[in-house]
Structure 1
């Protein structure tokens, strides 16, 4: 072998190492993945939800022993209805829970331009566009939630002082850390 053949072999090894390193780097970045949003609050698993476990009410003797006519819409008296019970405890009327806008708010809605039925979708689109603009300047990936919204965050202590200076009674705040 001559000295030239050794250099060719070294060059092949270097090229092989460079290709191997590039493949390893590509595989590593492919593992990074991504999420649909900045904060995913829904669990993708079909496991049990600890908040859906509700104790049953005790069985009670009905006022009469005559069987009522069957009503598929009526629920079992022993089945809990935590949302309805919470609404009653907080002073609401469970019969009025239609999900619509109460009649007493019609004038307010008329004065403000009404309610947009697609508000959630449009806000989600605007927020996604804002986050993508904020992420365009990011050098590295990762969770940039706090950096993206830093310009929109309020300083609680500055607001507290501003309200106090305006003569508005405000509760005390915890000390600064």
Structure 2
């Protein structure tokens, strides 16, 4: 009698585990930061009303159409805030390399610059995350996987500080151990 009761519990537990694992049959998601909402409606905080339309002084000097670009009636909350505090909103969209960083950029590109480096790195990162996410398909709860996936790729500040100090390099303090 006791053996039958324990066997029935085991069968029920196995059936429950199989039922729950069947719920995880969605397409594999390799994103790292899970910032999805459970709601399917629009984001009411992402909607910014446009500026009022203005009649130009002369219709012959209208700007050329710019599909996908900025419109004169588009809001720019960050630029408006900078202007309200006395700054120059044009500095938010710098053109070229700032004067103070030109020497750094020249030194960094002394051996040549690969124009496709961003696309190559993005592809390598996606491949790496896909390889690391093989066993994350069966998660019951969606979690932030960034630190888990890149754990072996991060530097240990204390260990690096000690290594540099042993080599005689003057170093600032590192964050305290947790």
TM-score in terms of structure 2 length: 0.49
- Higher alpha-carbon Rg: 1
TM-score in terms of structure 1 length: 0.49
